[in-house]
Homo-oligomer: A and B are copies of this chain.
Amino acid sequence: MTAERKSEPAYPVPGLERGIRILQMFNAGRRSIAPPEIARELGLPRTTVYRLVQALEHLGLLERLEGGSSFRPGLAILSLGFECLASLDISELGRPVLDELSDQTGLASHLVLRDGVDVVVVQKAQGKSPFASALQIGTRLPVHGTVLGRMSLIDMPKDELDQLFDNQDMSAFTEQTPRTVDALAAMLVLDAKRGYAVSDSFFEQGISTIAAPVRDQSGLSVGAVNVTLRGAPSSDPAFDALVDQVVKAGTALSRSLRYQRAFTREPMPHAG
């Protein structure tokens, strides 16, 4: 599911990798898991799973569903550098921009960053929109199958694209999903020229999206911002205004990012 980095792990730490894989099994639709499921899905010996689960529980990363032997994520998850990610420059600086975007449009807005062949939701705002956002912080979406993903890719040279999707499956979600890197690249050319992208119920049915790129200090797109709305955006009378607002939010975010990232080196050299 999650993008694999390079192919070979160099030096293995199986205990660690497996424990992490267990935690990664949880998502918005999967809030509790029992050990046998883990063993089956990860292809691990039962004994090992019980040990891992015990260790994770001991660390507070898993909590036993009362009574039973199923587990859900524990609060200690939030101690895993998340506090750090939450204060991540772009995420923190992005907040006001997203808030304003949502306020002005009355729509839910999201900021995503690309991570391999996924984009990850790192910040969102809901404003006073009647419909809550469908995306949670931390949600991952396939980069090739969403406008948010495509906006994150528009500055990537073709050879890097090839490399990125080498051996990656490009499952089709709808008929419009590109199934080859070439098809994707063709879409990206258009996307780049346009400077924004619109999906009529592209990834999720009934939810449409208008997205614009977010660039870092090097001027290359590293993520995207969007608003989500019900129904077909192109039929919305305020469509052009909407696009304009999203694009503006994108450039505002890019500016924050450019400004900030230069100082990301060693904000607080630990005083040994």
Contacts and interface: CB of A to CB of B under 8 A. Distances in A.
* Identical chains bound together, number: 2
A31 B267 contact: yes
A32 to B, nearest CB: 6
Contacts of A237: none
Contact of A37 (B11, B25, B40, B270): B270
A10 interface: yes
A219 interface: no
A189 interface: no
Interface residues of A, number: 76
B80 A85 contact: no
A36 to B, nearest CB: 9
Contact of A73 (B11, B25, B27, B85): B85
Interface in A56-70: 56-61, 65, 68, 70
Of all A-B residue pairs in the complex, the 3 with the closest CB atoms, nearest first, are: A15-B15, A73-B81, A26-B81
